[in-house]
Chain A
Amino acid sequence: MWGWVESVGRRAISALDYLRSLYDLLYLSLKTFATDRRSGVRVIYRVSVDQCYFTGVQAFWFIAFFGFAVGLSLAVLIQGPLLVQFLVKGVVREIAPLLTSFVVLGRSGTAIAVEIGNMKVGHELDLLESMAIDPIRRVVVPRLIGVTFAAACLTVTFDVAACVASFPVAGLSPIEFYRELTRAMTYRDLGISIGKGFLFGITTALIACHHGMTMIPLTTEVPKAATRVVMNSLMFVQSMNIACILMYAT
């Protein structure tokens, strides 16, 4: 009996520790971003743009196809008068941010953890410190900016692609379909979709950076860190999604 309680307690403490370390990393990133407006601005800008290109631009056509496929298949399944309602409440608000975050996690979350992990193995973070360059400012902040911005944009791409794909199935003229869609979709729906994309993006990037930065500097630890990023991000994103639903549905 007590062994079970002890095990639950230990897990709860380690979960809290994990949350605290994520919070610490987020706090330090925001602090260095907000307080120091001079050092390395162009370096941060450049790395953020690179990250945005990798996470957003390179995944654009994939997300567009993914959104199109999901929109088309769901539209075929739910033909009828409820289609547009489902498109807005189901796809735009729920499915698009979630599936986009899975793609971002698969492409960028793991890549970030592996990249930072390899930097750690190669003493590149020590190199930055020896040049008086804050590794959080040079490595973490641009990745948070790039992934978050790209994830929000990709969510919109998914939304648009899904709507375009469901149009031929709706059996309406383009003008009627557009009118129905704009009647069903409020700014709140769009805000929830983009907001979730933003939230899931920053969570994925934060978890990826955390595992890269705290990894034991051994090459054998790099793939383990990538695996942990996938598992923990999935868990966090799902939990946040449930929390969001409870928040705006009640």
Chain B
Amino acid sequence: MSDAPDSMLSLEAVAFDVGNTRLHDLSLAIEPGQAVAVLGSRRSGKLDLLQICLGLRPPAGGTVRILGQDLWALNEAERTALRSRVPLIHEQPLFLSNVRLYDNLALPLRYHSHLSENEIRTRVDRAAARVGLERYDAIALPMMCSRELLRRAAYTRALSMSPSLLVVEELGTALDDGARDWTLRVLLEYRREGGAVLYSAPAPLPDEALSDRLVLMDRGEVLAIGEPAELRRSGVLEDWRGRSREEV
């Protein structure tokens, strides 16, 4: 464990200027077991920030490190291998529509690993059990499954990869959508095991346990980064709420 990286993800002096999003000299580090929320309205640029963290968009300047490795200094194969350790859970559960549910769940493992089919089955089943998806129709197509089942399946697929960092898009929507209990349970359990969580949301979640640090964004810019209590005390959080409400 001595060579374990200090941070799961770190942004160092990152610059980005595309569309409405303008990031300058942005630095952020997510340590093992931490949960960081990127807060902002729909057009605040939080999706761009998540995509930079995931390596889906290259920054104009600065360094993005995942598990201590400079993502954009690696060659394509190394970058792909590293990126596979950071799965994204989309706001609306996405699946390949013409591929059966189990094959969808096994796809990233089949693609990125050399595990046997039996080992893949074991890892998928273990991840499914964690999110309460013990029984499902493996040969059903995604369009035949309920929304709730697909949401659990999306977490299963992500957790089966044994990720170092879990990125969740619009976590607030999932929590408002009747999936609150199990989503929180899964994320908190994942954190306790040393995994880090980065998620976006329109406003701070009522559960402080998932908000070690907040990144407040508005109109494509990062307004502040800090702990919730500190941001609340200094009035920055209230200011940001006011600006976000104006934009809506």
Contact = CB atoms under 8 A, between A and B. Distances in A.
B111 A138 contact: yes
Contacts of B87: 130-131
A168 B120 CA distance: 56
Interface in A27-42: 35-36, 38-40, 42
B110 A127 contact: no
Interface string A77-106: 000000000000000000000000000000
Contacts of B98: 115
Contacts of A128: 96
B94 A132 contact: no
Interface string A227-238: 000000000000
Nearest to A134: B80
A133 B108 CA distance: 8
Contacts of B56: 129-130
Contacts of A126: 94
B72 interface: no
A40 to B, nearest CB: 4
A122 B94 contact: yes
Nearest to A137: B111
Interface string B87-99: 1101000111110
- For chain A, the bracket of interface size reads 20 to 34
Contacts of A42: 110
B84 interface: yes
A43 B107 contact: yes
Interface in B96-139: 96-98, 107-108, 110-112, 114
Interface string A115-127: 1001100111011
Nearest to A115: B98
Q: How large is the interface on B (under 10, 10 to 19, 20 to 34, 35 or more residues)?
A: 20 to 34
Given A39-B77, A130-B56, A130-B88, A124 B107 contact: no
Centre residue among A39, A123, A131, A134 by max chain B CB count within 10 A: A131
B97 A118 contact: yes
Nearest to A129: B56
A131 B56 CA distance: 10
A123 B94 contact: yes
Contacts of A115: 98
A130 to B, nearest CB: 4
B219 interface: no
Nearest to B92: A123
Contacts of B95: 124, 127
A38 B77 contact: yes
A151 B155 CA distance: 40
A220 to B, nearest CB: 18
B54 interface: yes
A132 B83 contact: yes
A131 B111 contact: yes
B230 to A, nearest CB: 32
A39 B80 contact: yes
Given A127-B90, A130-B88, A132-B80, A40 B111 contact: yes
In the A-B complex, list the 3 residue pairs whose CB atoms are closest, starting with the nearest.
A132-B83, A40-B111, A127-B94
Interface of B: 54-56, 76-77, 80-81, 83-84, 87-88, 90, 94-98, 107-108, 110-112, 114
28 contacts: A35-B77, A38-B77, A39-B77, A39-B80, A39-B111, A40-B112, A43-B110, A115-B98, A119-B96, A122-B94, A122-B97, A123-B94, A124-B96, A126-B94, A127-B94, A127-B95, A128-B96, A129-B56, A130-B56, A131-B87, A131-B107, A131-B108, A132-B80, A132-B81, A132-B108, A132-B112, A133-B111, A138-B111
